[in-house]
Amino acid sequence: MNELQLKLCDIQGRLFELSGTKHYTSAAFIKAFMLSNTAKELDSTYNRMQWAGEEYLLEEITSSSDTLTTDGDVYSSDVLYWIGYIYRYWHYYSNESSAKIYKQAPVETMKRNYLMFHTMDPALAIEDLKEIYRQRK
């Protein structure tokens, strides 16, 4: 993992955290992001979105999604940051798309496993999340 990739993991973590600060329903925001064109652009080898900060990325998501609400459950900032960070790390770790990652570990899985996995090395947490998915198939 190079320095730029780790920085992008941090930006995505801060984006998810910012969604909570803005009171967006966490499950809806995370799903909208992971299945969005913005996430797809971040997945590419090089895209201008990779140089955008979390505020700009949040604007991109909120302007392109009509499923975001502010009347649901908002996760803690620690949970949101970890989910965002791990999803982006997962992309660099396995070269899988955000949509494919979300299919394997939807937001409910991530939230449920946060307490067990958030202190683990990201690669080990990802391997465990992949194993959970394989066992459910």
Tens digit of pLDDT for each residue in 33-42?
999 999 998 8
The total number of structural domains in the chain stands at 1
Which string of DSSP letters, residue by residue, matches 105-129?
S-HHHHHHHHHHHTTS-HHHHHHHH
| Global confidence as pTM | 0.92
Q: How many angstroms separate the CA atoms of 23 and 4, rounded? A: 29
Domain that holds residue 65: 3-136
The pair of structure tokens assigned to 78 is 């620690």
pLDDT in tens, 93-105: 999 999 999 999 9
What number of residues does the chain have? 137
More confident residue, 69 or 17: 17
Q: Is the pLDDT of residue 50 over 80?
A: no
d(CA 16, CA 12): 6
> pLDDT band at residue 67, thresholds of 50, 70 and 90?
confident
